Amino acid sequence: MSFLSTPIDLVGTVSVWDAQLKRATNSFPIYSNVEVYVGRDQRRCNHVVDDPVISNIHLRIYTIIFDRENPDEVAPLVYAQDLSMNGTSWNGYPMGKGKESFLLSDGDVLRLSPKLSLHFRCAVQGKEDCFDMLQMIEMRVFEDQYSVTPQKLGSGAYGQVHMAFKKDTGQQLACKIVDLRALKNKVVREAEDQHSRHFKEDAFPPNRNRLLVTRAFKKSLQRKIQEKLDVYSREARILESLCHPNIISIEKVIESSNTIYLFQELVTAGDLFSYIQYKGGKLDDIEAAVIVRQVLMALDYLHQREIVHRDLKPDNILMTSLADGCRVVLTDFGCARFVRPTVERMSTLIGTFDYSAPEMLKSKQGYTKAVDLWSLGCVAAVLLTGDIPFKNSLTTDPTDLSRERDLEKLEADMEWNKIRQRARDLVRKLLVFDEAKRIDVKQALNHNWFTNPSHRVEFEALYRRAIRGWKPRTHKGSLISNLGSLIKIPEQDSAPMQTLCSDGYSRVDSGQSYAAEEIPYQARDSSTPPVSQEYELCRGHSASMSTTLSDPELPPHCWVGHADTRPPGHPHRNQDRDCFCPDPLEFILQEQSSHMQTFSAGYGMT
């Protein structure tokens, strides 16, 4: 379904629940391009509620669409912001007045007062099977700390980004899930194709040559896999070392041999690309200057630490608000790397073509941190003109002559759009073919677009206001953990160990097989002795599960190990889930061992 099929698109429905009457009294729709204000003020609120505890303007509900041209990639994201005096809760967690907005998922409950609550339902349901079985098992290991929801925020070549939240505070996060298995499989497939072509070209090599080639292939394959894995490990380690208001803040990284779970701050107003669309396709000089200056602040921080981003583009710049002068955040450090000053040049062709510096194509020559300044020049041009200056030039005609023609067109576009001289001058100095003549980040920050006497004080004041609500990370110690280190192994005398038998069922020492539906759920309070981890895995739901979840049956909280006993028609029933879900520790260790055995056997490494 396309969300742009009608001028105003329905993205959800909110029901007003009366606790005294124990029923919904009415409901109202949420549309993609209409902000909804809830409160007692009849003049300023779209939906008026009559309750003395509720503020005149109590709650704001709005929608962010990431890509209006491809709306089915990520569904519209509906947010709620608490504006009240007495407070609002999201699924039992306090939202806090003036704090970041909360992303709403299907089934969420917003409690406005002891009497009234709002129940949110999405107009279009997302996919339920967004996590595979192994990921759901891995998530059970850290489910007491973080809950990863099916709410999709984005996707990439080897994974997806989902909304998550901390179980103790309810703080919402973005969780980037990198599927290392898919990455390894792609490397293996490409290597196999290359290996096969080699033998086809040399149809009957001597046995000795064939053996040497095979050995070389094995070593090359191992090296390529490790290089790919190092890229994603490097992203986590770079982010762990950073703390700046204009750079995405990392909360936690959990790694296994199969998956990386990267938890980072949830930025609630979409990316710069969607912001440009929201603004009508382009920005005026002052609006563009505020954003470009903040990105330069982030690049200055990175370049001082000898880090180059290498993939600067509107999609990787996030907006904390749709209001003018909001804080902007640089994200996606998958292409970033450390460089040694003055002596090291990079040569990898990486990033996004439309925003890549010309020297990145000349791999023999290599390139430096200056590539980030070229990319920023492209971003600035997009902000000012609404068009990418070097669209498709790399793929159709990757020459300096082609780009010179594009620069001439850009000059004409800026003149046509009546871009002021200061802004045009900065763009020209950023989009210089010779990196040695291109201005660096310090020179760009001191450019008179930002430092002229009539605007300098205003820009500095705007920046202070933009970052006013930002708080530096206070976490001490490493933010990166191995999944295995988080598994709580029970004491031997606390319960018999659960084992995975050849028939695929879990058995305890007595030999009895347990199914989720055979053991009734019994809620326990703090006075009840804790139940062993093995016994908990036989339950339909964990007894320690938070009661404030939007829907306790959403992945990864549902029991996927046995036939689904929920009634037909239940929104989360899945007839296909009839497989056993073993103990997380045992399964993860088995999966790792099996993967290594298969990999080794397949290439003669055993």
Question: Is there a contact between 109 and 119 (Cβ–Cβ < 8 Å)?
Answer: yes
CA-closest candidate to residue 51, choices 120, 98, 111, 93 = 111
Length of the chain: 606
Q: Is the pLDDT of residue 367 over 90?
A: no
pLDDT on residue 582: 56
Query: Which range among 104-113, 179-188, 247-256 shows the weakest confidence by mean pLDDT?
Result: 179-188
pLDDT in tens, 87-103: 999 999 999 887 789 99
Q: Is residue 396 within 8 Å of 368, Cβ to Cβ?
A: no
- The helix-helix angle for 370-385 and 421-430 (nearest 10°) equals 140
Q: Give the C-alpha separation, 337 to 303, whole Å.
A: 11
Q: Which of 340-349, 405-414, 570-579 has the highest mean pLDDT?
A: 405-414
Per-residue tokens: 585: 């520790």
Find the distance separating the first CA and the last CA of the chain, reported in whole Å: 50
Domains of the chain, start order? 10-122 (2.60.200.20), 274-452 (1.10.510.10)
72 is catalytic: no
DSSP 419: -
**Sign of the CA dihedral with 143 first, then 146, 152, and 156 last:** negative
Catalytic residue among 311, 315, 372, 564: 311
Distance, CA of 97 to CA of 102 (rounded, Å): 11
To the nearest whole percent, how much of the chain has pLDDT over 90? 50
**pLDDT value at 268 more than 60:** yes
In this structure, the number of other CB atoms found within 10 A of the CB of residue 79 comes to 18
- Maximum mean pLDDT: which of 194-198, 515-519, 576-580: 194-198
Do residues 160 and 154 make contact, with C-beta atoms less than 8 angstroms apart?
Answer: yes
- pLDDT per residue over 528-561, tens digit each? 333 333 323 333 333 333 333 443 333 333 333 3
Q: Rounded distance, CA 36 to CA 280, Å? A: 21
pLDDT band at 66 (very low <50, low <70, confident <90, very high): confident
Q: By percentage, how much of the chain surpasses pLDDT 70? A: 69
pLDDT given for residue 561 in this prediction: 38
For 505, other C-beta atoms within 10 Å of its C-beta total 15
Asked if 338 and 238 count as a contact pair (C-beta separation under 8 A), the reply is: yes
Burial class (CB in 10 A: 0-12, 13-18, 19+), 418: exposed
Identity at 174, one-letter amino acid code: A
The mean pLDDT value for 207-235 works out to 80
Average pLDDT over residues 169-175: 96
Q: How confident is the model at residue 207 (pLDDT cuts 50, 70, 90)?
A: low
- Judged against a pLDDT cut of 60, whether residue 345 lies above it is answered with no
Q: pLDDT grade, residue 350 (50/70/90)?
A: low
- Is 99 labelled as part of a ligand binding site? no
Contacts of 267 (CB under 8 A, 6+ apart): 174, 248, 318, 319, 320, 329, 331
Nearest Cα to 98, choosing from 474, 549, 468, 548? Answer: 468
- Using DSSP's 3-state secondary structure scheme, residue 146 falls into strand
Per-residue confidence band for 519, with pLDDT thresholds at 50, 70 and 90 = very low
